[in-house]
Amino acid sequence: MASDRRRVRVVGIGSGGLDQITIEAAEALRASAYALAAVKGPADALVDLRARLLARHAPDVELVGVPDPERERSSSSTSTPLDYRGVVLDWHEARSLAWERAMAARPGDVAIPVWGDPAFYDSTLRILDRIAERGRLALDVEVLPGISALQVLAARHRIVLHEIGGTVTVTTGRRLHEAVAAGADNVVVMLNADLPLDQFADWRIWWGGNLGDAGETLVAGRVGDVLAELRGHRERLRAEHGWVMDVYLLRRGEGTTA
């Protein structure tokens, strides 16, 4: 049975802009003893952004970095959905152990700043569930929603994500082709390792890279007309800022079958 208890605030901090954070989220950061962040390397630009956000909204709160376990990314280990899921679950277990050690070593409430909103393609809540299930630390978890990249994308392009009475599918770059094969024709795509869009030349795209950050870049148009430009922007953002996070809406053009 757990002998120690921690209050954990999972705080959505927006897609990159220091002022995208809500008043509620800023107050949650300030009410915490420290903030926790996974560190992926000696020059982790996303950790630096979290530090700048704390300096702006919660300057008395220390940012504690936790070295992030390596995740297997070889094509042989992630070639099928089942393989990929297994790799991710192993990584979640390793990360949860690292976070548990960090929290056990420090008293007080902890904030975990999460990019965008914790509800979309983020592992934080699953990792906290693993810590709670082991029972060595008792966790009281509170979630503060954030402005997601989906919302920022729609706002920047001044669009509605779905057509009148229609639907929108949210998926990852890895599963885009699967979604389209299942009939999706209006798709928001996140977590992109690249842009596998050559077969969608006649679809329309609304794309945003590093939304909310100083390097924010927007492109819209027919995929076949703008794909080379999009790939160039991805490389440029990575080179200039040390990271690239992009999201896009892909909509089937009239008369297209791909």
Per-residue pLDDT of the chain (258 residues; tens, 9 = 90+): 555 899 999 999 999 889 999 999 999 999 999 999 999 877 788 899 999 999 999 999 999 999 998 877 665 556 677 777 888 899 999 999 999 999 999 999 999 999 999 999 999 999 999 999 999 999 999 999 999 999 999 999 999 999 999 999 999 999 999 999 999 999 999 999 889 999 999 999 999 999 998 899 999 999 999 999 999 999 999 999 888 999 999 999 875 655
pTM: 0.88
Same domain for 155 and 140: no
Domain encompassing residue 50: 4-144
Same domain for 186 and 138: no
Same domain for 177 and 65: no
What's at 53, amino acid-wise? Answer: L
Same domain for 216 and 236: yes
Please report whether residue 89 resides in a domain.
Answer: yes
Same domain for 162 and 106: no
Cβ–Cβ under 8 Å, residues 16 and 116: no
Distance CA 50, CA 46 (A): 6
- Which of 125, 144, 163 is where one domain is finished? 144
- Which of 92, 119, 144 is where one domain is finished? 144
Same domain for 159 and 119: no
Same domain for 194 and 235: yes
Distance CA 230, CA 221 (A): 11
Q: Which among 28, 36, 25 has a CA at the least distance from the CA of 103?
A: 36
Token couple for 65 = 């970095």
- Which of 144, 165, 183 is where one domain is finished? 144
Domains in the chain, number: 2
Same domain for 187 and 95: no
Please report whether residue 115 resides in a domain.
Answer: yes
Same domain for 34 and 140: yes
- Helix or strand holding residue 104 (H, E): helix 81-104
Please report whether residue 256 resides in a domain.
Answer: no
Distance CA 60, CA 248 (A): 36
Same domain for 37 and 62: yes
CA-to-CA separations, 85 to 90, 93, 127, in angstroms, rounded: 9, 12, 14
